[in-house]
Amino acid sequence: MKVLVPVKRVIDFNIKPRVKADGTGVETAGVKMSMNPFDEIAVEEAVRLKEKGIATEVVAVSVGVQQAQDTLRTAMAMGADRAILVLTDVAVEPLGVAKILKALVAKESPDLVLLGKQAIDDDMNATGQMLAGLLGWAQGTFASKIEIADGKATVTREIDGGLETLTLALPAIVTADLRLNEPRYASLPNIMKARKKPLETIAPADLGVDVTPRLTIVSVAEPPARQQGIKVESAADLVARLRNEAKVI
Amino acid sequence: MAVLVFLDHESGIIRQASRSAVTAARALGEVHALVTGDASVAEAAARIDGVAKVLRAAGAAAAHELAEPLAAVIADLAPAYSHIVAASGASGKNVLPRAAALLDVQPIPDVVSIVDADTFVRPIYAGSALATVKSSDAKKVLTVRASSFDPAPAEGGAAPIEQVTVPEGPALSEFVSIALSQSERPELESARVIVSGGRGMQNEENFKLLNPLADRLGAAIGASRAAVDAGFVPNDYQVGQTGKIVAPELYIAVGISGAIQHLAGMKDSKIIVAINKDPEAPIFQVADYGLVGDLFDILPQVEAALDKAG
């Protein structure tokens, strides 16, 4: 079974993003970039499927700028076998990414596409569902557990009131939630090995995909800041203020 | 053109967040509601103030709000609508992007403000920035943050109910089981008061120390990601960027340091109280009232003070 794992290069989750002074977006120049944390979880799960003998090949894919190669090398250092970079300087929206992935699925014929449930930059939470829709495949979103057996995937999903379990006919799309696994750190020997693994670069046009954005960014602004509060001295003081000042109890 | 709103339900009860989606949708046009499940769900939808028509997708294929049949239903209905809207809950986020793909539309998730029929405000980077985006798609597909729109009243409407057909298709996914957290407390998204615990609660047993305070205040109980990851409470307690987004009148954060992804889920609360032993914890930067100290000492003191105040 072949597994395709799309990964995105984003501002490292430890860095507080700064809105650009001209309000056109968030500053990325000179900012540390890393693999989207949810995608790391997806890579880890795919590699574990391979280690269990369920997956035969794990192919990492990224849509983005030249430096997204680093993100793909990280995926290969974690255990992906090879990588494909769809090179573009345009910020491709989930719809465009889903179209690119659909074209790659036609080329690669994976049985499973494992993605992070959302990227921590645009917080769209859409690409997996959109790819599933375009392909007409089953989808298991927000997965906290995946089991593959008898040509089916059994997926436990994190929903509003608890957990839901579905079985999906393969091929299928699964998106990873936080508690699916804890991604490994790539070891130094594996990082060295990953440098020699194959990385193919193609253009969206090679796949016949139009990635023109549908959304125009009118402005990006800082959210209104909360007023600095006060420290209270005691529980009694706190209760008195909640009652008399804030009037919320 | 009218607006189609998908109302999700849990165990036959329409979620309050979906009624907030009705309020958001009314700003865009006449609201038609799409529901699944028993006739009682459609009847409840028909009573929501502001709903002009209810479309009920009945039958096994539409049960459990499975994404594949539901997205197909929405795509079938879409030609009659300018906007397709749902609450930004697990169900809306599962179904709407798939429907958008079928319609060749880029969805707009987590809308917190509607500027005009094409222009919407949504948080990005876990709420570190607010992006105003304008869509060039002929049809808009959006999910809306329930904490940004008041829920439409559950009573007051008398909309007609129509059945809609679920398109035949291969059964791609199948429902196996659901495990809902049992609780007598209010839902996180609709609670007036929330008491939330973090890593500082130390373990599952200690986490229960929040119960008496929550009981006293009629509060829902939430948790930080750290507390959920550590197994103190189930996943559906999580407040934050990837959990529930809440904006209660009063949010009491106990033993929560205030990671950005947690703040993203609660910083629009009216009053925030933080109890933490670390005076430098980032939670104090958003707290209206901060109390520095050992939560295991402070919790009983707060309860005693509440009792004394009557």
**Confidence at B171, pLDDT banded by 50, 70, 90:** confident
Within a domain: B35: yes
**Confidence at B58, pLDDT banded by 50, 70, 90:** confident
pLDDT of residue A241: 96
Report how far residue A217's alpha carbon sits from residue B114's, in angstroms, rounded to the nearest whole number. 14
pLDDT of residue A107: 97
Considering the domain architecture, whether residues B124 and B195 belong to the same structural domain is answered as no
Q: What is the ipTM of this complex?
A: 0.96
Structurally, chain A folds into a number of domains equal to 1
Considering the domain architecture, whether residues B146 and B39 belong to the same structural domain is answered as yes
Residues of chain A in contact with residue B68, where contact means CB-CB under 8 angstroms, are: 132, 138-139
pLDDT of residue A35: 98
Tell me what percent of the residues of chain B surpass a pLDDT of 70. 99
Considering the domain architecture, whether residues B242 and B154 belong to the same structural domain is answered as no
**Confidence at B50, pLDDT banded by 50, 70, 90:** very high
Within a domain: A235: no
List C-alpha distances in Å: A84 to A81, A102, B45, B122.
11, 14, 47, 31
The residue among B164, B197, B228 that closes a domain is B164
**Confidence at B63, pLDDT banded by 50, 70, 90:** confident
pLDDT of residue B207: 98
Within a domain: A244: no
pLDDT of residue B242: 83
- Give the residue numbers spanning the domain of B247: 188-309
Within a domain: B213: yes
**Confidence at B285, pLDDT banded by 50, 70, 90:** very high
Cβ atoms of A161 and B181 closer than 8 Å = yes
Angle at the Cα of B228 from the Cα atoms of B260 and A113, rounded to 5 degrees:
85
pLDDT of residue B108: 98
Is A247 in the B-facing interface, judged by CB distances under 8 Å?
Answer: no
The three-state secondary structure class of B237 is: helix
Report how far residue B125's alpha carbon sits from residue B248's, in angstroms, rounded to the nearest whole number. 22
pLDDT, greater one: B201 or A224: B201
CATH number at residue B302: 3.40.50.1220
List C-alpha distances in Å: A8 to A82, A93, B43.
16, 12, 44
Within a domain: B67: yes
Residue B310 pLDDT greater than 80, yes or no: no
0.90 cut: is pTM over it?
Answer: yes
Residues of chain B in contact with residue A178, where contact means CB-CB under 8 angstroms, are: 225, 229, 242
Tens digit of each residue's pLDDT (9 = 90 or more) over A53-70 = 999 999 999 999 999 999
Tens digit of each residue's pLDDT (9 = 90 or more) over B68-108 = 999 999 999 999 999 999 999 999 999 999 999 999 999 99
Within a domain: B272: yes
CATH number at residue A41: 3.40.50.620
Annotated binding residue at B190? no
Return the residue in A122, A156, A214 with the most chain B beta carbons within 10 A, the one to mutate for interface testing: A214
Considering the domain architecture, whether residues B24 and B139 belong to the same structural domain is answered as yes
Mean pLDDT of chain A: 96
Report how far residue A237's alpha carbon sits from residue A199's, in angstroms, rounded to the nearest whole number. 62
Report how far residue A4's alpha carbon sits from residue A136's, in angstroms, rounded to the nearest whole number. 17
Within a domain: A15: yes
Considering the domain architecture, whether residues B11 and B153 belong to the same structural domain is answered as yes
Mean pLDDT of chain B: 95
Residues of chain A in contact with residue B217, where contact means CB-CB under 8 angstroms, are: 249
Structurally, chain B folds into a number of domains equal to 2
Is A198 in the B-facing interface, judged by CB distances under 8 Å?
Answer: no
> Which residue from A133, A157, A168 is facing B71, i.e. has the nearest CB?
A133
Within a domain: A227: no
Residue B184 pLDDT greater than 90, yes or no: no
Identify the bridge partners of residue A11 per DSSP, sorted by sequence position: A33
Within a domain: B180: no
Tens digit of each residue's pLDDT (9 = 90 or more) over B117-148 = 999 999 999 999 999 999 999 999 999 999 99
Within a domain: A231: no
Considering the domain architecture, whether residues B153 and B241 belong to the same structural domain is answered as no
- Average pLDDT of the residues in B300-304: 96
Tens digit of each residue's pLDDT (9 = 90 or more) over A229-245 = 999 999 999 999 999 99
Within a domain: A248: no
Tens digit of each residue's pLDDT (9 = 90 or more) over A69-109 = 999 999 999 999 999 999 999 999 999 999 999 999 999 99
Residue B62 pLDDT greater than 80, yes or no: no
pLDDT of residue B60: 72
Within a domain: A85: yes
Considering the domain architecture, whether residues B24 and B150 belong to the same structural domain is answered as yes
The three-state secondary structure class of A56 is: coil
Considering the domain architecture, whether residues B150 and B199 belong to the same structural domain is answered as no
Q: Which residues in chain A (155-194) have CB-CB distances under 8 A to chain B? A: 157-169, 172, 177-179
Within a domain: B234: yes
Partner-chain contact B107 A163, CB within 8 Å: no
- Give the residue numbers spanning the domain of A195: 2-217
Considering the domain architecture, whether residues B221 and B153 belong to the same structural domain is answered as no
- Average pLDDT of the residues in A112-122: 97
Considering the domain architecture, whether residues B50 and B86 belong to the same structural domain is answered as yes
> Which residue from A118, A168, A214 is facing B135, i.e. has the nearest CB?
A214
Considering the domain architecture, whether residues B214 and B86 belong to the same structural domain is answered as no
Within a domain: A120: yes
Closest CA in chain A for residue B273: A238
DSSP A51: H
CATH number at residue B85: 3.40.50.620
pLDDT of residue B83: 98
Tens digit of each residue's pLDDT (9 = 90 or more) over B193-252 = 999 999 999 999 999 999 999 999 999 999 999 999 999 999 999 999 888 999 999 999
Report how far residue A141's alpha carbon sits from residue A99's, in angstroms, rounded to the nearest whole number. 18
Report how far residue B75's alpha carbon sits from residue B103's, in angstroms, rounded to the nearest whole number. 6
pLDDT of residue B291: 98
**Confidence at B11, pLDDT banded by 50, 70, 90:** confident
Q: How far is A111 from chain B (nearest CA, A)?
A: 14
Within a domain: B293: yes
Residue B59 pLDDT greater than 80, yes or no: no
Residue B61 pLDDT greater than 80, yes or no: no
A137 membership: H or E segment, kind and range: none
End-to-end CA distance of chain A: give it in Å, rounded.
58
Considering the domain architecture, whether residues B213 and B98 belong to the same structural domain is answered as no
